[in-house]
Amino acid sequence: MPLFQKLNLDWKIATLTIVSTTLLILDKYHSFTSSKLIDRTILYLLIPLFLIIFIFRENPAAYGFQLGDWKTGIKLTTLAILLMTPILWWLTRADGAMQSYYDGYFAGLPWNTFFDLLGWEFLFRGFLLFGYARKFGAEALWLQAVPFAIAHVGKPEIETLSTIFGGFIFGWIAWRSKSFIYPFLIHWYIGSFTILVAAGAIG
pLDDT in tens, 94-152: 999 998 999 888 888 899 999 999 999 999 999 999 999 999 999 999 999 999 999 99
Could you give the 3-state DSSP secondary structure of residue 178? coil
Q: How much is the pLDDT for 14?
A: 95
198-203: long-range contacts, CB 8 A cutoff, minimum separation 24: 198/92, 198/98, 198/99, 198/100, 198/101, 198/102, 198/103, 198/105, 198/106, 199/102, 199/103, 199/105, 199/106, 201/106, 202/89
Using 50, 70 and 90 to split pLDDT, how confident is the model at 74? very high
* Alpha-carbon separation of residue 36 from 32, 86, 153, 162 (angstroms): 8, 30, 18, 24
Q: Around Cβ 101, how many Cβ atoms within 10 Å? A: 18
What distance in Å separates the CA atoms of residue 180 and residue 66, rounded to the nearest whole number?
8
**What pLDDT, on a 0 to 100 scale, did the predictor assign at position 107?**
81
